[in-house]
Amino acid sequence: MNAFGSPRWVDFHCHLDLYQDHQRLVRECNAEKIVTLGVTTTPKAFARNVDVASGHSYVLIGLGLHPQLISERASELSLFEKLLPSTRYVGEVGLDAGPRYYASFQDQKRVFSRILRACDEQGGKILSIHSVRSVSKVIKELEQNLTHGNCVPVLHWFTGTPSEADRAVDLGCYFSINAEMISVGKNRSLLQKLPLERLLTETDGPFVNFMSRPARPTDVPTTVELLARLRGIDPQLLADQIINNLLAMHSPAPAEPPQRQMRLFKSTP
Ligand code: MN
C-alpha cells in the first residue's frame, strides 16, 4: 500500500484539461488505477484542475508555465510562485528553442531558472520538463539551480544525445517515454540504453495520436508493450519496474546517486 493505493500504470505527462471530456477522463484514470500527472500550461489553469481531480487519488496535478507560452504569459510567474508551496508537482515547465519560440528564449531561461530556484528552496518537488532543441541548456539549468538535490526532475519527451542522457542520469533525472518517441527510429538506440530504474511512461495527450485519435492514459499499456519489446524484456516486468520507479521517486529514503556528493531524493515534507 502507498499514497496512491495500488497503481497499475503510469502516465506521467498528460494534458487532462485539454480534452473535451476532462472530467470523464479523470474518472477513467482513477477507475483504471493509472497514476496520471495532469500537467498544466499556465498557473491560471491550476486551481480548476485541482478541483476536477479532487477525490481521485490516482490523478496528480502539476503547476505549469509552458515555455511555448512565455511570450504572452511571463507575467503569470508571480501567480506561479504564489501557488508553488501548495503543490508537490510542477509541470509543464522547461525550455523550447524551436524556431517558433526562439524569440522568447531569453525570457524562457529567466522564468525557468526562477522556477527551479524556487523549487530548490522549497524542496520535495517533482517536475515534468520540456526540452525541445534545448536539452543541454535544460540540463545546465538543472545543474545550476537544483543545488540541494531535494527535487526530482522528469525529462518529458527526451531527445538528447547519449552523453546528455548520462549527465541527466547523474543529476537524478527520470525519463517519461511516450509511444511516438518509440516509433521514431533514431530514438531507439537511446531508449534501449536508458537505465530501467529511471523509466516512466507518458502519453502527452492530446498532442500525440494513437490509432488516429488523441492518445489517452488508457493507451499506456500499449506503450509499455512497445518499450518492453524494444528492451527485450517481459512487458509485465517492465510494468512492475515502472510502478517501482514511481514509488521510488516519491520515497523519502534517498537513493545514493552515482558520482555525486550531494544526496538526491532526500526527505521531503
Ligand atoms: Mn506536453
pLDDT tens per residue across span 230-241: 999 999 999 999
Cα–Cα distance for residue pair 189/262, rounded to 1 Å: 30
* 60-105 residue pLDDT tens: 999 999 999 999 999 999 999 999 999 999 999 999 999 999 999 9
CA of 87 to the centre of ligand 1 (A): 19
Ligand 1 centroid from CA 262, angstroms? 30
Query: Which residues hold their Cβ within 5 A of ligand 1, which is an ion?
Result: 92, 204
> Which phi and psi angles does 79 have, rounded to 5°?
-65, -40
**β-pair partners for 118:** none
- Percentage of the chain beyond pLDDT 70 is 93
| Amino acid, single-letter form, for residue 58 | Y
What percentage of the chain exceeds 90 in pLDDT?
90
Of 262 and 168, the structure prediction assigns the larger pLDDT to 168
Q: Which residues pair with 154 in a beta bridge?
A: 128, 174
Question: How far apart are the CA of 3 and the centre of ligand 1, in A?
Answer: 25
Instruction: Identify the band that residue 4 occupies on the pLDDT scale cut at 50, 70 and 90.
Output: confident
- How far does residue 126's CA lie from ligand 1's centre (Å)? 15
Model confidence at 229: pLDDT above 80: yes
pLDDT of residue 252: 63
Rounded to the nearest whole angstrom, what is the distance from the C-alpha of residue 32 to the centroid of ligand 1?
22
Instruction: Calculate how far, in angstroms, residue 69's C-alpha sits from the geometric centre of ligand 1.
Output: 12
Residues 131-175: tens digit of each pLDDT: 999 999 999 999 999 999 999 999 999 999 999 999 999 999 999
What gap in Å lies between CA 52 and CA 55, rounded to an integer?
A: 8
